[in-house]
């Protein structure tokens, strides 16, 4: 665990997470923390669609020593990110004898490009993941040992996860199913199974009632509920949408879990004893590859297929007007060769997941007898249920690439549990291959996140210099999504044709990565970009007189 912490913390020296500026949506969550510190009351912005209260309280603790800053909020997330990594290590150690596998699993989560980038923000993803994993760890200990203290600690973490994001309910739901499956329907076990779920549901409903009663409910709070209901009420769209989202999830999770897959799948020799399982699993994996290749070739193109964090240009989002709104090709991509290699890795990992799932299904079907869950398999099944329940609504409605990462820890632990019974000493080839795959993730995640923070740091330097001129106010500037959200967010804002949608009042000045039609350069700032290597620019542009007259 110390080795994991040292490796991960050392990587942050490359990234340099310092900087008092928001990233992505975290301006909205930062405003909630700032309001709590100034007024002593919780009030989220209308842009928030999650309960958020636990994250707001956690971030406020880190701001108490020196006052509000996004640097303090970023360190609050980084601390929970390390907890998630160590939590995955501990969960794998519960189900598998190999420290090598547990270490690779922890680093596979830590250097996941999306997880690593989000660790350097104040987005809700990583805090939610930390509470989620902590709850799973305590509940799994209770499933194995029956400790009341573990049950109470798991309940507290599950409630914290639920009051950060609604889908924290996945953990107590999976715990209830696993406990009853392993212990039976006796009243004492049913009560212990239901209590955590009832407390989390009750806590969430009570919190929502308080938000409504005090006028604090955000305008976006029920957006996910509405999308889920709309998806379920449209059967014609539901099936093709579900197939698309399952394929997308398999591609991303296949890519992200590949370092662990190469270690555990070859050791799962039990499947090789059942010829039908091998045939069905191989056919299912090949079918996934063929269908995915056709879909990618005809509809999407190579990875990345979803937006927000992992982009063709690297790690983002690229939230200035020229890239975010106008889609101008102002920044170079990582190249077709890079993304074809990532696509191949995603297809391979997805095929492994599909094939393993199909082979296990055949094996279980042939040997199935109604029985209780064996104690040595309880944690693995519990973790797979956590990931599956969490993913279910996302697979119905779709979402950003970052939504799939929350299922990754549980997929890794589940795979480790499946392979535990047939584990044997590793040859040198598979560990070396796992380390190389892990290194490839790190070599994308660390420089990519460093580039993302670097250009944003320069962007905010340019904005602060611009606002230092007393003739210029925030209302005169289109400084990108985060800038206008932080300064000018208005839930009643109405979009104006020709302007960016994100709360732009007057776009006299615009920040961009390159020259943009209708604007003339005023000043430019340079920064070094590592992946791919080039010298980038942030331009301060002023609207030309002809455009202003129109």
**Cα-based distances in Å from 94 to 97, 141, 261:** 8, 8, 18
Token pair for residue 459? 């962007």
Q: What angle do CA 84, 150, 62 make, to 5 degrees?
A: 40
What pLDDT does residue 425 have?
60
* Residue 311 β-bridge partners: 314
Which residues fall within 8 angstroms of residue 359, CB to CB, at 6 or more apart?
271, 274, 277, 278, 280, 281, 284
Query: What is the per-residue burial (b if ≥16 Cβ within 10 Å, else e) of 473-490?
Result: ebebbbbbbbbbbbbbbe
**Percent of the chain predicted with pLDDT > 90:** 76
Residue 31 CA to residue 25 CA, distance in Å, equals: 11
- Kindly tell me if the per-residue pLDDT of 446 is higher than 90: yes
Rounded Cα distance, 180 and 324, in Å? 49
Express each pLDDT in 37-64 by its tens digit.
Answer: 999 999 999 999 999 999 999 999 999 9
Cα–Cα separations (whole angstroms), residue 259 to 100, 109, 168, 322, 417: 12, 10, 27, 37, 16
State yes or no: pLDDT of 224 exceeds 90: no
Are 126 and 26 in contact by the 8 Å Cβ rule? The answer is no
In this structure, the chain runs to a length of 550
Stretch 337-349: mean pLDDT, rounded? 95
Q: How far apart are the first and last CA of the chain?
A: 62
Mean pLDDT of 262-277: 66
Percent of the chain at pLDDT exceeding 70: 93
Question: Is the pLDDT reported for residue 273 higher than 60?
Answer: no
Q: What is d(CA 344, CA 150) in angstroms, rounded to the nearest whole number?
A: 42
Q: Using one digit for the tens of pLDDT, what is the confidence trace for 461-516?
A: 999 999 998 889 999 999 999 999 999 999 999 999 999 999 999 999 999 999 99
Q: What is the pLDDT of residue 358?
A: 83
Where do the H-state alpha helices sit in 96-186? 99-110, 113-119, 125-145, 148-162, 170-183
Enter the tokens of residue 488.
Answer: 């000018």
Buried b (16+ CB within 10 A) or exposed e, 125-141: bbbbbbbbbbbbbbbbb
Span of 78-87, 104-113, 354-363, 443-452 with lowest mean pLDDT = 354-363
> What pLDDT shows up at residue 230?
87
What pLDDT sits at residue 268?
Answer: 55
Confidence at residue 112, expressed as pLDDT on a 0 to 100 scale: 97
127-160 pLDDT, tens digit per residue, is 999 999 999 999 999 999 889 999 999 999 999 9
Question: How, if at all, do strands 477-478 and 509-512 pair?
Answer: parallel
Backbone angles phi, psi at 540, to 5 degrees: -95, 115
- For residue 17, the model assigns a pLDDT of 96
Average pLDDT, the chain: 92
**pLDDT of 275 strictly over 80:** no
Q: What is the pLDDT of residues 356-392, one digit of tens each?
A: 888 777 766 655 555 666 666 789 899 999 999 999 9
Confidence of residue 264 (pLDDT cuts 50, 70, 90): confident
Q: Mean pLDDT throughout 160-176?
A: 97
Q: What integer pLDDT is reported at residue 269 of this predicted model?
A: 46
Q: If we measure between CA atoms, which residue out of 247, 271, 250 comes closest to residue 356?
A: 271
Low-confidence winner among 16-30, 146-160, 427-441 (lowest mean pLDDT): 427-441
Q: What is the pTM of this model?
A: 0.95
3-state per-residue secondary structure call for 371-423: CCCCHHHHHHHHHHHHHHHHHHHHHHHCCCHHHHHHHHHHHHHHHHHHHHCCC
Residue 285 has pLDDT above 60, yes or no: yes
Find out whether 387 and 411 touch, Cβ atoms under 8 Å: yes
- pLDDT over 50 at 271, yes or no: no
């Amino acid at each position: 665990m110390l080795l994991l912490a040292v490796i991960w913390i050392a990587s942050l020296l490359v990234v340099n997470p310092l900087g008092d500026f928001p990233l992505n949506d975290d301006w909205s969550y930062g405003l909630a923390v700032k309001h709590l510190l100034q007024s002593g009351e919780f009030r989220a912005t209308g842009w928030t669609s999650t309960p958020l209260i636990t994250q707001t309280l956690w971030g406020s603790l880190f701001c108490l020593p020196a006052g509000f800053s996004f640097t303090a909020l970023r360190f609050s997330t980084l601390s929970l990110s390390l907890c998630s990594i160590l939590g995955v290590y501990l969960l794998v150690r519960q189900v598998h004898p190999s420290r090598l596998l547990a270490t690779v699993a922890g680093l596979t989560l830590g250097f996941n490009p999306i997880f690593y980038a989000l660790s350097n923000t104040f987005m809700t993803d990583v805090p939610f993941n930390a509470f989620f994993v902590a709850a799973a760890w305590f509940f799994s200990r209770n499933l194995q040992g029956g400790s009341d203290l573990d049950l109470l600690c798991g309940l507290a973490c599950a409630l914290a996860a639920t009051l950060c994001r609604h889908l924290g309910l996945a953990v107590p739901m999976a715990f209830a199913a696993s406990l009853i499956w392993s212990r039976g329907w006796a009243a004492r076990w049913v009560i212990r199974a239901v209590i955590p779920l009832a407390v989390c549901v009750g806590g969430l409903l009570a919190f929502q009632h308080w938000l409504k009663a005090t006028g604090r409910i955000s305008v976006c709070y029920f957006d996910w509920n509405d999308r889920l209901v709309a998806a379920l009420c449209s059967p014609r769209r539901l099936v093709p949408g579900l197939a698309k989202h399952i394929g997308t999830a398999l591609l991303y999770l296949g890519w992200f879990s590949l370092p662990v897959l190469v270690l555990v799948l070859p050791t799962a020799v039990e499947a090789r004893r059942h010829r039908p399982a091998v045939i069905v699993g191989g056919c299912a994996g090949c079918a996934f590859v063929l269908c995915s290749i056709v879909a990618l070739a005809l509809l999407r193109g190579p990875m990345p297929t979803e937006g927000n964090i992992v982009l063709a240009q690297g790690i983002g989002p690229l939230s200035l007007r020229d890239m975010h709104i106008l889609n101008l090709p102002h920044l170079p991509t990582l190249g077709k060769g890079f993304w074809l290699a990532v696509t191949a890795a995603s297809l391979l990992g997805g095929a492994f997941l599909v094939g393993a799932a199909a082979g296990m299904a055949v094996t279980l079907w042939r040997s199935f007898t109604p029985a209780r869950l064996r104690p040595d398999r309880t944690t693995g099944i519990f973790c797979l249920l956590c990931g599956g329940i969490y993913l279910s609504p996302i697979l119905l409605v779709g979402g950003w690439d970052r939504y799939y990462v929350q299922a990754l820890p549980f997929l890794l632990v589940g795979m480790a549990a499946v392979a535990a019974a047939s584990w044997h000493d590793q040859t040198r080839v598979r560990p070396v291959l796992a380390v190389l795959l892990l290194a490839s993730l790190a070599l994308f995640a660390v420089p990519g996140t460093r580039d993302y923070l670097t250009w944003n740091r320069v962007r905010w330097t340019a904005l602060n210099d611009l606002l230092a001129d007393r003739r210029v106010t925030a209302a005169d500037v289109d400084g990108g999504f985060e800038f206008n959200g932080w300064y000018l967010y208005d839930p009643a804002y109405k979009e104006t044709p020709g302007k960016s949608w994100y709360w732009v009042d007057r776009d006299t000045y615009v920040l961009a990565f390159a020259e943009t039609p209708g604007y003339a350069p005023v000043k430019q700032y340079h920064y070094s970009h590592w992946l791919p290597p080039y010298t980038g620019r942030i331009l301060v542009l002023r609207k030309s007189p002809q455009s202003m007259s129109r």
